[in-house]
Structure formats: C-alpha cells, structure tokens
Amino acid sequence: MKKTTTNLTLPEGQPVTRFPTFPRPDDEELLAFVLRVWSYKQGEIVSLMIHFDDHLGLYRALVGVSSVTAGELITVTGLQECWVLEWLRGQATAGLLGYDDNDHFGQYCCTAAVLAEEEHSLVFAVGAFGVPFESDVTDDGLAEAFRSGVGLPYDRLSPNAIHRSEHMLGPWARLALVPHIIIPTIEGVEPKLEAGARVVDVACGAGVVLLAMAVAYPASGFYRFDPSEHAISRVRQRMNEARVTNVTLHQASAEDLSPEAPFDLVMTFDCIHDMTHQADAIASIGVALTDDGTWLVKDICSAPRFVDNLANPVLAMLYGFSVATCMLSGLCEPGGAGVATLGIHPLTVEEMSRAVGFTRFQIPDSEDLANLYYEVRP
C-alpha cells in the first residue's frame, strides 16, 4: 500500500513531525482488521469464562474424562444443564475442549494440566484469569445461577452495561441501521413515518435507533417499552440532551403492549433472545400492530445447530456473552425460556411468529455481517 505524508503544525513552537497518512482500506482489508480487533474482545470473554470456572469446578470434573455430555456432567457437579452446555460449547469453540457432533465434550491431553490440576501442575494457569475490568456480574451471582438455574434480572447488572452497549453499537445504529436498513428495506415505512406513524421500540438498549428516528421524523410518535430502569434512565437522559419531545417512555415489558392503541412499526433489536417469555412477548406484539403494520426483528446471525455455527470466527465470544449476560436475563424468572445468545435464528423466528398469527415473513438483505433482520407482518 502506498503511503503519503502530511505536515502537522503544533502549538508553542514545538517541532513538526511528519506522520504517514494511509488511503482508505478496501473492504477485504477493513473486514480483516475488524475481525482482528474483535478477536481481542473474544479473548477477554473467554478469559472471563475460565475465571468463572474457578468457582464452578467444571474443568476439575472433566479430569480423566474422554467424552461426556452436559447432562452427564451435571450429575457430578450439581449444576444446571442448560448453563453447563452453553459453557462447554463456548470452551470448545475457543479450542480448549474437544467436541463431536453428538454434543459430547472432552479434554485434550494438555487441558487438565493447564486448567484443572492446581495442586499438581507447574503449568496451571487459571489463577491468572481474574477480572481485570469492571464486571457487571459478581462471581457469586453467576456461580449461583449455574447451581440454581435462575439468572439475574437486567437491572442487577451495572448501569454501565447500557453505556458500553451504546458506545459499542451506537455508531452502526445511527449511520447504517436507520438510514440504510430500516427505512429503505421495509416496504411503505417511510411514507408512514413522514405522515405521522406510531412506532414502539421494545427493550433496545440506550434507545439510539429510536431517538435517531424521532429526530428524523418529527411528525411521528415514538414509544419505548423496557422493563429496565437503567435503560429507561439512559434514554431519558439522551432525550433531554437532544431536546426530543416526540418520545414517550414506559418502564414495562413487551407483554404490556396493548391493542387499544396499535402501532405501525414495532422494533425488537438484540433483545428477543434475552427475554424470559418470548412466546408471550411475540403474542403481545402481534395484537399491538395495525393490520398493515410491521414487526422488525434484529438478532445475532446464527443457525439451528451448533456445528453449523462453528465457522463464525467470534463464536467463543458469543457463547461467553451468552453465559455472562443473555442467559442471566433469559432465566431471571422461574420458567424463563433462556434461549441464549444464539438461540434466535430464521427457523425459530418464523415458527414463533406464525404460531401467534403472523402470516408474512422475510429476511431483507443488509450489509450487517453479524446480524439478521426479519420483517414480519400480520
């Protein structure tokens, strides 16, 4: 790649240094760099999963075991199967455990020495994996979820979780999701927004998408339903900063949507897999839509079978997120669905939407490599 240079003028007579200025990367180069950056985040999350196992003892339980299922492993650990399976899959995709197509897992020859045998191995490494960053989940809280099967409600996490999600996902939402995915790809949505539509955003983080649309379409009314006090507080703060007046906030869940004042557009972005009762939420969305309304879903790009997701270069990170946040939320109530981060895919979305009366279902094209978008109509 050819480089050019540029002169910088520094204040107070400081010497001028010539820094290289690179041309814009091509798509392949940019993607490779993005994956490299996210691989470091994946390392952080995998490290967190190793650290939490110091409280759970799963690697110690695997010593001497060549092949075991999550169901078999819980008989000696006393933990809950759905949590153990998610943890095992994450460790397998990180290359720390072996795996076969029948959901059997086993240790490599080096695994016990490095991750289990604290008293007998000179290369035991788990003690190095603490929590070097501010954690939203206490060790005890996550460990107890493994034992009881019951997670933690979202507001038991730090309010900083909302800020980090906003900081991480906000640019994409503002620069791509609203102008290039929501508006152009959904048939008939822009004329409704310009004329004055009713739009509800359900449990979508800091409200970046909702506020961007509220500013762009002042004739429309926008509503936010979210059970999280942290999320509602952050959206209210951002509303005041932007002086937005056409947004109404409700600290409530999707199940509280009412058919009495139907919506033209319902948006659920990265939240269906976090919900405790997806079927009830989707049923409420169905009755809260106008006859010609649209439900727009955004969720992680995944396939039904674990083996079909193995090509994802950040799969271990997603399983770590699943254990540390998504399953905590999805199982925070007894009987919660706990479908996990990768549990929402085209088959489940279509099946759940048709079960409550939706008849039209399609996946519009987008440039988002990490997520799928579902356009669902009555």
DSSP 162-185: HHHHHHHHHHHIIIIIIIIIIHHH
Q: Does CATH place domain 160-302+344-377 in 3.30.70.20?
A: no
Rounded average pLDDT over 265-285: 93
| pLDDT tens per residue across span 66-111 | 899 999 999 999 999 999 999 999 999 999 999 998 899 999 989 9
Rounded average pLDDT over 44-64: 91
| pLDDT tens per residue across span 18-49 | 556 667 778 888 889 989 999 999 999 999 89
> What is the CATH architecture assignment of 27-149?
Orthogonal Bundle (1.10)
Query: What pLDDT was estimated at residue 86?
Result: 95
Higher pLDDT, 279 or 8: 279
Token duo for residue 351: 């099946």
Query: What pLDDT was estimated at residue 138?
Result: 63
Q: What percent of the chain has pLDDT over 90?
A: 60
Residue 255: CB partners within 8 Å, gap ≥ 6? Answer: 277, 280, 281, 284
Q: At 378, is the secondary structure helix, strand, or coil?
A: coil
Confidence check: pLDDT of 355 > 80: yes
Higher pLDDT, 29 or 5: 29
- For the chain, the domains span 27-149, 160-302+344-377
Strand (E) or helix (H) holding 111: helix 111-115
Query: What pLDDT was estimated at residue 3?
Result: 44
Residue 6 confidence class, pLDDT cut points 50, 70, 90 = very low
Query: What pLDDT was estimated at residue 376?
Result: 95
Closest to 190 in 3D by CA, of 309, 297, 294: 294
Confidence check: pLDDT of 11 > 60: no
User: Where is average pLDDT lowest: 22-31, 143-152, 208-217, 240-249?
Assistant: 22-31
Q: Across the chain, what does the average pLDDT equal?
A: 87
pTM score of the predicted model:
0.82
Rounded average pLDDT over 118-133: 78
Query: What amino acid is encoded at 290 in this protein?
Result: T
Q: DSSP labels for 245-301?
A: -SEEEE---GGG--TTS-EEEEEEES-GGG-S-HHHHHHHHHHHEEEEEEEEEEEE-
User: Where is average pLDDT lowest: 100-104, 162-166, 196-200?
Assistant: 162-166
